[in-house]
Amino acid sequence: EQQPLRLNPMEVYEVIAAACSETSAPNTYPMTFSSKLSNNSGKPSMDVAVSVLVKLVIDMYVLDSETAAPLALSMLEEMMNSTRLESKTRAFDLILNLGVHAHLLEPPTTDDTSTIEEEYCKETFLDNETQLSLEGNKKSDYLKKAGNSSAIDKFECWILGILYEILLHLVQTEEKEESIWASALSCLLYFVCDRGRIRRSRLKGLDIRVVQVLICVSRMNSWAEIVHSKLIGMLTNMFYEIPEISNKALSATPEFLIQQVDLTGGIEFIFVELLGKIVENFEMLIKSFTHLDKEFAHMRQITKSCKSLESIDGAYGNSFGMKAKLSWATLHSLLHSERTQCRHNGYLWLGDLIITEIVEEGDASIWSSIRSLQEKISRASVIDYSPDLDVPLSIWLMCGLIKSKNNLIRWGFLYVLERLLMRCKFLLDESEVQHAISGEMVGDLHNKSRLEKANAVIDIMNSALSLMAQINETDRMNILKMCEILFSQLCLKVPPSTVTSMDDPTICIKDVSWNKKLGPGESLPRQESFGWEEHIEDTNHKLKRNKDPPKPETASMAALLLHGQAIVPMQLVARVPAALFYWPLIQLAGAATDNIALGVSVGSKGRGNVPGSTSDIRATLLLLLIGKCTADPAAFKEVGGEEFFRELLDDTDSRVAYYSSMFLLKRMMTEEPENYQRMLHNLVSRAQQSNNEKLLENPYLQMRGLLHLSNE
């Protein structure tokens, strides 16, 4: 229906250059050719170039499809070889656009398509029962009427050939970026799915290694179960070929293709997916997470004997000091290794050495040993190393992990810290139980309150996590791990019988133990509550959040707290530096929206607005920060005062903006009641004039209005 574009070679070159550019800036490749292709709509020239390029590729296909295929493939491979994610993603967008514009190849047909429809229904699908709702509903009804022999179908098969080459190119270049594979999967499903099912015929020509890599990416990034199961279904069906037989009434027996198994690396890959090797290697798997490999056991004992650098200086030959130096060097190599298993052995080894500092302190009590450990970590966090400080090598190595440029090595610091905190809790409880059973009174341990022991563990956490803020950690996974450790030390799960309302969680109690069990009839006092109940209750109502409670066995502490299934003692919040609340809150500002976008694409767990997501974590951090600033004026001043919370009003997360507005509003009502009443009166008057007084019931809009009046 359309005439081919008439562009000279220079214009074609400019179109390709603009569409394949490695930057999305609007004016990087200005369109200098004829006015009929100029950017009259105001869109960036790149968007115009992509639209023109789609038409050019279709024109080339109509003219000579065999010649057009290698040209289009070469152009797309050049985009895939780019170092920028935008260029790689744009390649799949271009392929998708070609499929969407396939209708240009054939004029509308008549409604009499019964014969075509009957032919189409004979198509074989991978699954006749389960509907894949991700991409199937995107195809138009027109394809159903066109039939397998239509021009559109042939064009899509031509595009599929190019797409399969691009996907294989990704496998060969060992692409690791999740977003690129998410775009590739979306593009693939568009062409192979129809009416919610995968057409077997469309998978012919697809290299099985592409599906294998997609399965690995899906497993590593926790994609939705429906996506992962469909990928496994595709892989399974690609192991078989259904031969064509002349008698349509007979069903053909599928033939197993052993060469397909060889392409995936052998039968082992199948066993990994189906069984995960858990059954045959279960005992070894568990021990690898809890016990150091036997080959390092002797070295560990040597390092326990030589705890300082001075004890191994000057060692030579086959002396014990030389063996100790070699053992410490081995531990350092394990901690900074590129192999996960080696690093894990290093974490177990280092954790045992640090715990030794507590349990082998001579006549000192567990309580004083933990205090001493906290002081040593604080001293080691100031400088890289000093022989004048009474700090063992194990502490120096632990603090050295956080200063690595490799984010995986820095994650090891958090792993060791988490195990250390759990062991400290266990040692304190175990020691108290032993002395209670024997009736002995050693030192002042038995007289220490549960709150004081909790404070001792939190002090270690504060000293260690403060290093994260000092180095300005930017890796999101490490920051999320830090938040997990923080919440696990501050939050206590509430028995279901004590929760009266999911929108009315108790935040504070006076005397608390991290493992205290509350009876069914035991109430939780609220003497130190500062109104978080109203924050959460109003927000859930105004923002219409899903109030279904998360499962306590699986949900994060952040989700449990927001649903009233966990509490936070204010005594512990007061112990934590304000920086550990506001610093990750700011660092994770972009993570919530980015994860939502990726979660929508592939249904990744933990992404988007689901319990325990980044949004929940940021909301919890803000609530903890508000609680600390309410109780401690110095903390409020440290974060920047009202200016800090005013900036949060512009946050992309609606809950963060809403909580901030409520805090500022209540603070104004308390600190400046007369000024608040006067400004509120003026705001109500203006709202009545525009018939918008109902909007003032929303604290966020009310605070926005008050700030607008104060700036006039």
Q: In this predicted model, what pLDDT tens digit does every residue of 226-271 receive, in sequence order? A: 888 888 888 888 888 887 766 665 677 888 888 888 888 787 777 7
| 639 contacts 580 by C-beta, under 8 angstroms | no
* pLDDT for residue 414: 94
* pLDDT for residue 135: 44
Average pLDDT, the chain: 75
Average pLDDT over residues 503-524: 37
Q: Which of 45-49, 244-248, 448-452 has the highest mean pLDDT?
A: 448-452
Average pLDDT over residues 387-407: 88
N- to C-terminal Cα separation, the chain: 60
* pLDDT for residue 428: 84
* pLDDT for residue 131: 42
| pLDDT at residue 416 greater than cutoff 90 | yes
| pLDDT at residue 418 greater than cutoff 80 | yes
| pLDDT at residue 575 greater than cutoff 50 | yes
Among 18-27, 81-90, 230-239, 700-709, which is the least confidently predicted range?
A: 18-27
Angle ∠(620,412,398) on CA atoms, nearest 5: 105
Banded pLDDT at 639 (limits 50, 70, 90): very high
Residues sharing a CB contact under 8 Å with residue 153, sequence separation 6 or more, in sequence order: 143, 146, 147
Cα–Cα distance measured from residue 28 to residue 31, given in angstroms and rounded to the nearest whole number: 9
* pLDDT for residue 415: 94
* pLDDT for residue 134: 41
Question: Domain segments of the chain: what residues?
Answer: 9-217, 290-473, 483-662, 672-712
For strands 492-493 and 566-567, give the pairing: antiparallel
Average pLDDT over residues 691-700: 79
Average pLDDT over residues 432-456: 65
Length of the chain: 712
| pLDDT at residue 545 greater than cutoff 80 | no
Structure tokens given for 189:
């499903």
Of residues 544 and 696, more confidence is placed in 696
> Which DSSP symbol is given to 3?
P
Cα–Cα distance measured from residue 227 to residue 603, given in angstroms and rounded to the nearest whole number: 8
Query: Hey, is 199 helix, strand or coil?
Result: strand
Cα–Cα distance measured from residue 143 to residue 149, given in angstroms and rounded to the nearest whole number: 11
* pLDDT for residue 514: 37
Show the DSSP H helices in 173-224 as ranges: 178-192, 208-220
Of residues 289 and 380, more confidence is placed in 380
Residue type, 707: L
| pLDDT at residue 512 greater than cutoff 50 | no
Banded pLDDT at 34 (limits 50, 70, 90): very low
* pLDDT for residue 276: 57
Output the CA–CA distances (angstroms, integers) from residue 165 to 89, 239, 241, in the order listed.
16, 19, 21
Residue 182: name the closest of 88, 42, 246 by CA: 88
Banded pLDDT at 582 (limits 50, 70, 90): very high
| 413 contacts 398 by C-beta, under 8 angstroms | yes
Structure tokens given for 326:
């070699």
Banded pLDDT at 2 (limits 50, 70, 90): low
Cα–Cα distance measured from residue 248 to residue 116, given in angstroms and rounded to the nearest whole number: 18
Q: Which pLDDT tens digit goes with each residue over 120-156?
A: 444 555 554 444 444 444 444 444 444 434 777 788 8
| pLDDT at residue 11 greater than cutoff 90 | no
| 421 contacts 487 by C-beta, under 8 angstroms | no
* pLDDT for residue 659: 93
Among 178-182, 214-218, 239-243, which is the least confidently predicted range?
A: 239-243
Of residues 471 and 531, more confidence is placed in 471
| pLDDT at residue 191 greater than cutoff 50 | yes
| pLDDT at residue 112 greater than cutoff 90 | no
Half-sphere exposure of 202 (CA within 13 A, CB side): 23
b/e map 161-194, b = 16+ CB within 10 Å:
ebbbbbbebbeeeebeebbbbbbbbbbbbbbbbb
Q: Which pLDDT tens digit goes with each residue over 324-379?
A: 889 999 999 999 999 988 999 999 999 999 998 888 765 567 888 888 889 988 88
Of residues 470 and 32, more confidence is placed in 470
Q: Which of 137-141, 418-422, 440-444 has the highest mean pLDDT?
A: 418-422
Structure tokens given for 625:
């920060």
Structure tokens given for 622:
């803000």
* pLDDT for residue 362: 53
Q: In the chain, what's the furthest Cα-to-Cα distance?
A: 97
Assign 3-class secondary structure to 616-649. HHHHHHHHHHHHHHHHCHHHHHHCCCHHHHHHHC
Q: Provide φ and ψ at 193, rounded to 5°.
A: -105, 150
* pLDDT for residue 577: 93
The DSSP string of 4-27 is: PP---HHHHHHHHHHHT-S---TT
| 491 contacts 563 by C-beta, under 8 angstroms | no
Residue type, 689: Q
Residue 635: name the closest of 587, 698, 577 by CA: 577
Banded pLDDT at 304 (limits 50, 70, 90): confident
Q: Which of 219-228, 629-638, 686-695 has the highest mean pLDDT?
A: 629-638
* pLDDT for residue 608: 47
Cα–Cα distance measured from residue 283 to residue 272, given in angstroms and rounded to the nearest whole number: 16
* pLDDT for residue 250: 63
Cα–Cα distance measured from residue 581 to residue 630, given in angstroms and rounded to the nearest whole number: 14
| 194 contacts 207 by C-beta, under 8 angstroms | no
Output the CA–CA distances (angstroms, integers) from residue 28 to 14, 23, 24, 84, in the order listed.
12, 7, 8, 15
Cα–Cα distance measured from residue 124 to residue 137, given in angstroms and rounded to the nearest whole number: 18
Query: Hey, is 390 helix, strand or coil?
Result: coil
